[in-house]
Amino acid sequence: MSREETQAEEITITDKFRREKAVTYLIRAVKYVMGYLPDFPIEYVPNAQGNPVEVTIRIFWKEKDYEERKMPTFVKPQLDRLEKEISRIGQVVGNPKVS
């Protein structure tokens, strides 16, 4: 590799800063989508190596695609709590003694 090619591949400090800022906001964008759709299975494929940085987000909306293996790991505890809460509410609603 010639010296000119090596210099052309070097990234300036400004470019490094801009790249890191772009990656930070890209991650924030994925979290934003996941925050609004916490019960949807979401797959995302980041590509932060080149210019531009990019991410592909796939949102599965059909119930038959609702498989736990496709869900992010942090969603499972939330779903467990939600299922317990729904079960508790169902028991209270079904109990005629509760006023």
Confidence tier at 99 by pLDDT (50, 70, 90): very low
pTM recorded for the entire structure: 0.52
Q: Is the pLDDT of residue 65 over 70?
A: no
Mean pLDDT of the chain: 76
Per-residue confidence (pLDDT) for residue 93, from 0 to 100: 62
Q: Is the pLDDT of residue 1 over 70?
A: no
Going from the C-alpha of 73 to that of each of 34, 38, 42, 88, the distances in angstroms are 12, 11, 11, 24
pLDDT tens per residue, range 11-35: 888 888 888 888 888 888 888 998 8
Which two three-digit tokens encode residue 37? 């759709």
